[in-house]
Amino acid sequence: MIQFADEAVIKVRSGKGGNGCVSFRREKYIPNGGPNGGDGGRGGDVIFQVRRNLRTLAHLRFHPVFKAQNGGDGMSWNKYGKDGEDIVIQVPPGTAVRDNETGELIHDFTEASGEESFKFLTGGNGGWGNVHFKSSTNQAPRIANKGEPGEERELRIELSIMADLGLVGFPNAGKSSLLEYFTNARPKIAPYPFTTKVPNLGVLRVDENSDIIIADIPGIIEGASDGAGLGIRFLKHISRTVGLIFMIDCGEEGCVDAYEKLLKELSEFGAGLMEKQRIVLCNKIDLEGAKENAALVAERIKSVDPGVEVIPVSVAARTNMDAARTALIKLAAREDVLEDREENAFAPTSAKKSSFMAERSVDDSMEIQFPGSEQ
């Protein structure tokens, strides 16, 4: 069974405040000691915090309940109860916190927001001890407040990987091979469909000060928007990209219609994918008849989407890869896209500030790493 680590449902609860204390001074030779009951301590808060070397949400799936500590009760001699300790829930960058019942977005951790932590639930206040209720008419109050209760919520935690460009295509179109060629990622590559079962990330080095992060998601099949196949589950991971790279296998029958079929699935999924800039790479032109098919694909795309750049390539034969690299860099560096990225809270920041990659883990969960070296 494949374990996906990009979503988890958890329950969180802030701490209850401690109760106030009813107490009176009892000292020798002081017959009329007054009230000295202390206040209860505050309950702990529930805090989400970004941990940048965290890779998945697997730690939340195996620990579904998070409770902050309750505040301690007040004591005699005006001693306050101890404040409860906060519970800090660590999440990777790109995490969205939602209400599990309504789906309402509570908080979104993107690099654009610049926030490292978020206090979600506040612990209950501690109750007053009886020392607060002393007055001229009531010099021996025998009342104290109870601590306020904490809050409890059920949340859905979602992880959307932070990437600049997303790879889209049918199974076995060559997306993983392209990722391996241009970046430091090492995805599993095999000559059969559905080789990619989880998203993979790679870093394309542009120059000494700039990187482009590319995300490869599992291949999309027809009917994906209705739940067929694996690709639809991971389309949300390219919802934050600034551009899309369509990969078409021109060695396959029906490749002429592939672009429109892919657009249909993205359109039905929504999430703004259709508004993103895109280029098309017609792959495998080294195969017999594929170069002619690529010309037909380019002609078809220009008739339905004239503004899209189409580049014939062969990743295996290393054909026309320099042109593809130039197109990728141009797509990621569009000025209007970068302006939108700064204004959009759901978009990642410039790749110049990013230097992480992803590899497949042993249990097929998505892993994001922060490497110190490139290929």
- Token couple for 41: 């301590």
Q: How far apart are CA 8 and CA 65, in angstroms?
A: 11
Annotated binding residue 169: yes
Give 13's contacts (C-beta < 8 A, 6+ positions apart). Answer: 46, 65, 66, 67, 68, 121, 150, 151, 152, 153
Annotated binding residue 171: yes
Q: How far apart are CA 113 and CA 94, in angstroms?
A: 10
Annotated binding residue 195: yes
Annotated binding residue 216: yes
- Token couple for 311: 């580049």
What is the SS3 assignment for 50? strand
Start-end of H helices in 229-350: 231-234, 258-269, 290-304, 321-332, 335-343
Annotated binding residue 316: yes
DSSP labels for 274-305?
GGSEEEEEEE-TTSTTHHHHHHHHHHHHHHH-
> Which residues in 198-207 are b (16+ Cβ under 10 Å) and which e?
bbbbbbbebe
Residue 201 and residue 94 in contact, taking contact as beta carbons nearer than 8 Å: no
Q: How far apart are CA 333 and CA 337, in angstroms?
A: 7
What is the SS3 assignment for 47? strand
Annotated binding residue 197: yes
Annotated binding residue 355: no
- Token couple for 223: 């009917």
Angle at 274 between CA 270 and CA 275, to 5 degrees: 115
Annotated binding residue 196: yes
Annotated binding residue 217: yes
Start-end of H helices in 7-116: 58-61
Residue 153 and residue 56 in contact, taking contact as beta carbons nearer than 8 Å: no
Torsion angle, alpha carbons of 246, 250, 253, 254, to 10: 40
Number of H helices, E strands in the chain: 7, 16
Annotated binding residue 175: yes
Annotated binding residue 176: yes
Annotated binding residue 284: yes
Binding-site annotation: residue ranges for GTP: 169-176, 194-198, 216-219, 283-286, 314-316
Binding-site annotation: residue ranges: 169-176, 194-198, 216-219, 283-286, 314-316
Binding-site annotation: residue ranges for Mg(2+): 176, 196
